[in-house]
Amino acid sequence: MGKIPIKTDNAPTPTGPFNQAIRVGDTVFTAGQAGRNRETGEMGDIREQAHWALLNIEGILTKAGSSMSDVVKTTVYLKSGTDTVPLNEEWVKHFPEPLPARSSVFVAHLKNPEMLIEVEAVAVVS
């Protein structure tokens, strides 16, 4: 089973030597997605960053032949524990039931000082 790189204009271009996602068989693994507004390039508060990070994942999954309803596992990197409430409020707008499994990791730094969140996902194409 080969690895198929996923590339789309519906998510930011990778800033390093990696792909937006890799599909292996029926499984899609996304790279971590920041919450950068694709239209303005800006990063807002945690709610806006969560919204854009999830939209970026959705764009990648669509290109891979998948969707948010196919996501089985996510990992979220957050700079602040107080950001979980607005994250959760945004989360349920993007993922249908049953919600995917999720690990949340609190970190001191992300790639860009403006980043408050980074999200990666694993989806199984249905």
CB atoms within 10 A of CB 55: 18
Task: Detail the DSSP E strand segments found in the chain.
Answer: 3-6, 21-24, 27-30, 33-34, 71-78, 101-106, 117-124
pLDDT digits (tens, 9 = 90+) for 83-102: 999 999 999 999 999 999 99
- Please report where in the chains the tokens 């970026």 appear, as a residue: 56
Q: Is the pLDDT score of 1 beyond 80? A: no
Peptide bond into 98 cis (omega under 30): yes
Q: How far, in Å, CA of 93 to CA of 121, rounded? A: 16
How far does Cα 54 stand from its chain's mean position? 5
Q: CATH 3.30.450.20: does it fit domain 3-124?
A: no
The domains of the chain are located at: 3-124
Specify the 3-state DSSP secondary structure of 54. helix
Q: How far, in Å, CA of 42 to CA of 103, rounded? A: 26
What would the mean pLDDT of 93-120 be, rounded to a whole number? 96
Q: Tell me the pTM.
A: 0.94
pLDDT digits (tens, 9 = 90+) for 19-69: 999 999 999 999 999 998 888 888 999 999 999 999 999 999 999 999 999
